[in-house]
Amino acid sequence: DTEVTQTPKHLVMGMTNKKSLKCEQHMGHRAMYWYKQKAKKPPELMFVYSYEKLSINESVPSRFSPECPNSSLLNLHLHALQPEDSALYLCASSQDAVSRNIQYFGAGTRLSVL
């Protein structure tokens, strides 16, 4: 089973709202990732968690706040977003955060910021 589950599938929020994206995997993976993908562009890495610790933050604005409550769950808390933050947000997981490992992706959350 190589399933990564993301909820919600779609989200519309205003610029003053607070919302959260959720990601779950039950493959025993110890690395989890958040990516942002704009239309017709490749995914861009936002955050990497390795063994539940934040290991990479690719200079993401503080209005995006990641959280890894346990090895199976990854959240992305959103606050005071801008319309340009509208994108597909993808979660991925891998056995651990080394280059040989395959990253398995969820179906993503399509976010629209009004």
Partner 1 sequence: AQKVTQAQTEISVVEKEDVTLDCVYETRDTTYYLFWYKQPPSGELVFLIRRNSFDEQNEISGRYSWNFQKSTSSFNFTITASQVVDSAVYFCALSSLTGANNLFFGTGTRLTVIP
Considering only residues 2, 7, 57, 82, which one is a binding residue for partner 1 as defined by CB under 8 A?
2
| Residue whose tokens read 């200079």 | 59
Residue 81: how many other CB atoms lie within 10 Å: 22
- Options 21-29, 38-46, 62-70, 77-85: segment touching partner 1 (CB under 8 A): 38-46
Instruction: Map residue 62 onto helix, strand or coil.
Output: coil
Select 41 or 77, whichever has its Cβ closest to partner 1: 41
| C-beta of residue 68 within 8 angstroms of C-beta of residue 52 | yes
Q: How far is the CB of 64 from partner 1 (least distance, A)?
A: 18
| C-beta of residue 111 within 8 angstroms of C-beta of residue 89 | yes
Using CB under 8 A as the binding rule, the residues of this chain from 40 to 99 that contact partner 1 are 40-43, 45, 48, 56, 88, 90, 92, 97-99
